[in-house]
Chains A and B, each alone.
Chain A
Amino acid sequence: MTTTVNTTDTKASPAVPGTGLDPGTQPDAYASTSDDRRLSQLDALEAEAILVIREMAGELERPALLFSGGKDSVVMLHLATKAFWPAPIPFPVLHVDTGHNFPEVLAYRDETVERLGLRLVVASVQDYIDDGRLRERADGTRNPLQTLPLLDAINDNRFDGVFGGGRRDEEKARAKERIVSLRDEFGQWDPKNQRPELWNLFNPRHRPGEHVRVFPISNWTEVDIWRYIDREDIPLAPLYYAHEREVFNRDGMWLAVGPVSQPRDDEQVETRLVRYRTVGDMSCTGAVESPARTNAEIVLEVAASTLTERGATRADDRISEAAMEDRKKEGYF
């Protein structure tokens, strides 16, 4: 039998030189052992995610996959590619564009859409601000502003299901959410009234006007994501790997100097060796100091980290104990 994993699923070379497999890592380091027919935990997580993606493709009429260019959504796309191979992914990808993107991530998004021959639907927060449907917040953060354009895009395109890369280890409210999660006609999540999710029988049925959010990688942790990226040699946007960048320190986070994040008078700009653990709204997503230039080095770094990725890098999630829950109830992903 062949359970040895070949790292040939993505033929393209990594986006950054030197981000391939570390020579010290055996190609089969994550493979299931072949003699006793037990799946390794990474293979078990992959099998579960593919099951969910295929089942929703079979049940739903018009699904779409949220794709930001961030690592979790890249892993989602990779899993979808495997789920339907050799057929193309049978649904479009949807990006809720805050207008506060890292340029490298936007470039990566377009490259990936091109490479996989996908249809990209963009919901632009900037358009909503320009025509007055949304107003810029006092703190300048645009993460909470994504909800309205997202819900409008779902309605306008009549999407009945949206795949997201949310993980339960990210945040306490997400830890409570189902893999297939119902949203009412206003896009709201009702955490007190969730459907029971039994065995691996997933039920996305809903009334007209409602839709479901689907989280196939719910059970993956941050380190699982990096092990999988390492094993499958999935190319990522370069800012995930250590690089020199002009940054300044605000509230204990390194923010990049850019058009939407300028240092105040008392904030020193310095050049540091950093990488990003998450990519989001550039104005409130912090970098971490890191020498990790390869996937294998990042796996080790994440495994040793004493901070969660959101705690380390997201200013908006530090606002309150229930910031994420409140956003999700309004229809956020």
Chain B
Amino acid sequence: MSAPTQSTPVLDPAAVAGAARGTLLRLATAGSVDDGKSTLVGRLLHDTKSVLSDQLAAVERVSRDRGLTAADLALLTDGLRAEREQGITIDVAYRYFATANRSFVLADCPGHVQYTRNTVTGSSTADVVVLLVDARKGVLEQTRRHLAVTALLRVPHVVVAVNKIDLVDFSQEVYERVEAEVRAVARELGVVDATTIPVSALDGDNIAERSERTPWYAGPSLLELLEALPPSDDPAHESFRLPVQLVIRPQGAARDEAHRDYRGYAGQVASGVVRVGDEVVALPSGRRTTVVGIDLGERSLDEAFAPQSVTLRLADEIDISRGDVIAAAADAPVPTQDIEAVVCWLGDAPLRPAQRLLLKHGSRTVQTAVRSLNGALDLDNLHAVPAEALSLNDIGLVTLRLAAPLPVENYSLSRRGGSFLLIDAHDGRTLAAGMVGATLPSGAPAPTEPEGDEEWEI
């Protein structure tokens, strides 16, 4: 066996440093069964040279053992024993790749098992969702559901990859028909920003490089598009919020005598920008003070912006503890004990009115009671229908009463300020993803065939 020699690196140092200076884009994939999603992910990793030779060798070995003639790139992401045994993807897998000026965190979300749970999970942190559609099949019911979830979660960008374009002979007509369908559904569901691209994940057409086999397509390749997308919200256009995670008071434990009297409020800037000298308000108390210092480790900053993790020093010693929110004094949210929200139910046992739960918002957890269940999303017609309970993977509209006022915000204005978890108080399980102030698509009810006379009466 040959020795594991390392060849001398020939990389350009500037390029390596450049990737680190570039931005981070969080990307989630979604799609139905057999639309080639794992192949697309494998292709992205392969074409950005993110698959190393020992990983590729393992994939080739397993593919051979299964009697396949070519390496099955889906095996790159199916990591669990049960997934390999059953040939399916069970859970969200995270993968990493980089180009010269951007790094990507890719959440690969399975399409069939618990698709709502997985798509909600992947979409909640995503800057962009890449949704696969089979060019031969066009927009399916599941495509509509995936688009509905990305619209509900307010993912800033959606890219619809019209896949298997090679199997329709690179037909412009087929692509344009699917594109028109996608546009219509996206508009109906309120998708913020959707782009379509004709691709062949299997052959690599329009993945990294623009394909010569789709001369009628003038747009960018998938990777070019992902590199060029503006990262999510510009902090300069948001209001400043910082949920306090910890109060830092070293007192006698300070490693440096100079910090014995240090008192700082540690947290991640959830939105906006804060500068030394800014007037801020602590919530829910409503006490006002001024920022006198911003620390990141032992480094002092003049300003901090989302999503930096910093520690704020304030002019006055007011009562602030973990769970409070420090906000810009000029436009602080009003704490409330009553909220309306859309929840994606992820618990095995159903949600019912009057149920008591825990709610986590920012760094604060409070008790809550379900006042009423005001409807659920019919996943076939994608509009609200009356409901008495929410089952696993259902999406519904609820009214909640909180045990203490929280400075929640409308999710449409702030993904961070408007999101919360519902938690089982007994075993700690996460039961739901919640979005304050969100609504279900109402739309005209789709025409339904009456099933019997009783139905017809109504």
Chain A positions within 8 Å of B, measured between CB atoms, are 1-3, 5-6, 8-9, 24-25, 29-33, 36-48, 50-51, 54-55, 57-58, 81-88, 117, 168-169, 171-173, 175-176, 191-192, 194-201, 203-207, 218-219, 221, 223-224, 227, 249, 251-254, 286, 288-291, 296-297, 299-301, 303-308, 311-312, 321-322, 325-326
Contact = CB atoms under 8 A, between A and B. Distances in A.
B4 A57 contact: no
Interface of B: 1-11, 13, 16-17, 19-24, 52-55, 58, 62, 77-82, 84, 90-96, 102-103, 105, 117-118, 120-121, 124-125, 231, 234-236, 245-246, 248-250, 253-256, 259, 262, 266-268, 273, 275, 295-303, 305, 307-309, 311, 322, 346, 358, 360-363, 415-416, 419-421, 423, 426-430, 433
B419 A198 contact: yes
A325 to B, nearest CB: 6
A297 B8 CA distance: 10
Contacts, number: 268
A31 B416 CA distance: 25
A230 to B, nearest CB: 9
Contacts of A43: 308
26 contacts: A2-B299, A2-B300, A5-B299, A9-B299, A41-B23, A41-B103, A47-B307, A55-B245, A57-B246, A82-B296, A87-B254, A168-B94, A169-B95, A171-B79, A172-B80, A191-B90, A192-B90, A196-B120, A198-B419, A199-B124, A199-B415, A201-B420, A206-B428, A218-B94, A227-B20, A252-B2
A82 B297 contact: yes
Given A84-B248, A196-B117, 4 more contacts: A54-B246, A54-B267, A203-B430, A207-B427
A171 B76 CA distance: 11
A24 B258 CA distance: 36
A252 B255 contact: no
Contacts of A3: 301
> In terms of DSSP, what is the predominant structure of the interface of chain B?
mixed
Contact of B428 (A25, A47, A173, A205): A205
Given A290-B6, A311-B54, A58 B428 contact: no
Nearest to B80: A191
B10 A304 contact: yes
A303 B246 CA distance: 37
Contacts of B22: 40-41
B216 to A, nearest CB: 35
B392 to A, nearest CB: 11
A289 B121 contact: no
Contacts of A306: 52-53
Contact of B13 (A24, A46, A251): A24
B3 A175 contact: no
A24 B54 CA distance: 32
